[in-house]
Chain A
Amino acid sequence: MGEKVLIKGVEAIAESAIRAGCRMFFGYPITPQNETPEYMSRRLPQVEGIFLQAESEIAAINMVMGASAAGARVMTTTSSPGFSLMMEGMSYLVGMELPCVVANVVRGGPGLGNIAPAQSDYFQATKGGGHGDYKTIVFGPSTVQELVELTYHSFDLADKYRNPVVLLTDGALGQMMEPVIFPEMRKLNTLPEKPWALTGALNREKNIIMSFEMDPKILENINWELQKKFQKISEDEVKYEEYATDDAEFVIVAYGTIGRIAKSTVKALREENIPVGLIRPISLWPFPYGVITQLVPQVEAFMVVEMSAGQMVEDVRLAVGDRRPVFFYGRPGGMVPSPRDITEKVKQCLSMLLS
């Protein structure tokens, strides 16, 4: 482990990716993630990597597809409207079982929206987003250090499952500078072998990579195989942080930037002896349903806080059912609730429960 470096979130993604062995980056300018491709354009040539600015997000994700098919560790980053343009490619990548890492630095929507931090692409990222039955692993980090660690980890997971991994963050974390410790530079000869990659069929059978099958019976089986993979990921790759939940009677569920703010809220409320806890999902897909379900017997009510009009709240309601109330507090359009806003909402909910 190296020493602490003060770095912006969107630059930390880039450096961490390089340390994970990513040597190919294709991207298209869009705020608030421009520092990632800018950093890559400086840094990748220093490590014999390739940075290429694509003509569009559509081209970028398809360049990623090509590089991944050729066996490279590859990444692109974008923000909401660009992520929408990449959805066709994402669907293909899953169908082709190609690994890659895509960061979406989410901004206010819908449409052009604005460049302020938001969490309104949760559905798009966690429920598939493109056409067909598919999932991508999705992480929602809440500190720059966590962003670094999850970026690094994402490349291994992508290769392990031959599936895209999405980092869902926003401009608040992206533009924030924090001291971080980067993982060691991964030796490229320690990266997993990819015998399926397209390298030229010299002295071996040809490799075909595609998401195409005309026979519905066979395509059904391919789909079930993919579902088995998603099931395995659901069992093995759930990540979350539990904070002050041991004796909690009221639990906040929040991720990413808001997960971090909600933690401050919980600390403040605990000082007032209010038994509040926090579940901070880190993997948004697979979603940590289990830990929430387990808390149902001890908890009076849950409250979901999001920078959206309410998306993750649906997953929390799936975990809780109608056994406990699930309150929601959210602000869409790029507004960020403050710890004080959340504190007030918690108190309102508590008084509603009492009355």
Chain B
Amino acid sequence: MKKILYSISVVASAMLVFGLQGCKPKNAGDATGADAASKVYVAPGKYDELYNFVSGGFSGQVSVYGIPSGRLLRVIPVFSVDPEKGWGYSEETKPMLNTSSGQIPWGDQHHLDLSQTNGEIDGRWLFANENNTPRIARIDLKTFRTSEIIEIPNSAGNHSSPFITENTEYVVAGTRFSVPMDYENGDVPIDSYKKNFKGTLSFVSVAPKDGEMKLAFQLLLPGMDFDLSHSGKGPSSGWFFFSCYNSEQAHTLLEVNASKRDKDYVLAVNWKKAEEYFKAGKGKKVKVNYAHNKYNEATHTASSTMITETTVIDVKDFPDLVYMIPCPKSPHGCDVDPTGQYIVGSGKLAALIPVFSFAKIQDAIKNKTFDGTYGGIPVIKYEAALYGEVKKPGLGPLHTEFDGKGNAYTTFFISSEIVKWSLKDLKVLDRHPTYYSPGHLCIPGGDTRKPYGKYLIAYNKITKDRFLPTGPELAQSAQLFDISGDKMKLLLDYPTIGEPHYAQAVPAELIAKNSQKIYKLEDNKNPYAALGEKQTKVERKGNEVHVNMTAMRSHLSPDNIEGIKLGDVVYFHVTNLEQDWDVPHGFAIKGNKNAELLIMPGETTTLKWVPEKVGIFPMYCTDFCSALHQEMQGYIRVSAKGSTVPLSFSLGKNSEAAESIIAKK
């Protein structure tokens, strides 16, 4: 008995060991390739660990990836029309792309910042900037839709944006191009740059509850190019840091003329002080013209309002607002570490990285350890602000993020690599090539007080030989690294939408739990919504015809419409009556120049149609919705101008509403 029991336990133990090994994935210690594959493999039906929001650069949009798989989950339309989602095509979304220059269909989207509370990502909103026609967008992370876009006056090339303060009090916008101010005569010789061109740093307030943005005040600065920025945190809370170049004030061949000086500047802005002055009524009110566009969640409709005034605070009249810190060779990145003590400036033509100390900057200000002024702004002595320099890190440092364990990671565009270095002693710890020429990088929460230091993603401008060729135009790329150990490990390459300029990433749970599934029909306040088929109707108001229509698997109501005449402007207000997750309907009419619609469950969306020919025009659902999707179709009859064909509509037979209209006639 004893012997038998013994053998049972031996075999059992052996089975336990073998059994476990057989069922568990292989772990670290295997060949690097296999290890990398298992680290990025997310099994079918399983979710990714993180959301990664990536700016689309010249695409104007924002894309959303799952990390670690690198799977594209969604492209959020922001500053460009998007035929996939009807963004900028439906009457309800057109106002979102309005500006002081009218509707702009294609923007240039550079940076992103997730909203924060106490310096940590709170998962509520994502801010995105538009570079070309200066704007800031706020994306609601419940719906993954752009909720609001505000234009920035007195600016051109809104690059150092949309970075936020620790509690999302403000989102900033610094002008890349200095220009004559909108409220002054801009018809001046270009070579009068030094006299007539100015720079501005705009502070846009964000309402704590609903996120509504408002241009609070603009700081007026000497003409230069403002590049990037980050808010202080912890001890440096209340300060904002901006990099700037072209302190030479060149207006032509900047490649040479703006690269002459040994040092440009990092600007330290005491925004709390600026806010105080603004609230005390300081600064001057000026006439401007800019658009403020908002999407109303209840009516599913955007509105665009023009605003005509702003407050400008000239920093040379307020000597305690702004200080300049010399920074070598055209600084680009301007990053603040998680403790808020160190500010990393990265001269894009430099071969070293200066790290400034917030405490030393404060001492220098107190003791006036200045080295003259620039445009009336005190310049702090370089050594007086400097914590130290990272020596020989590589060529062309651009951007730095942090892992929360005392390490910094900087991209090097020219030498095409990422370099890990220690904040404590500024020693280089590791370097890894990227393929090729990285701009920004992203560590989840890597620009907040609480980084999630497991992954690093490099965003490369050039991919050349990395993917199958697709003609002259190649996708740019992201490269995922495991940074949980001492050495960085490359895990995955994946192509991106447009230029992956900057990115934010956050553990999935923070966002996923709030994700909205449908628009509730009961809350639909669109004035043209047909809440139930009984409310469907077709109404003529002069030459305008409004069709209040419903879509439900698998028919449109009404699906036969007659009495439309040439010269009419027809609006199809389509309400999707579905209340189930992931059942959108589409809507299209043959020959319509304003394309199609895509309507989420419970939503009402409007398609404008100006028929130009007499005849029968088919309409149908364009989003495969059910087994009878191909049956989801109907016809519209268009008659000549002055025709006597009465306006009528029906489904199956005439609906009650149609009958009552006919009866009245």
Q: Do A and B bind each other?
A: no
- A interface with B by C-beta (< 8 Å): none
- B interface with A by C-beta (< 8 Å): none
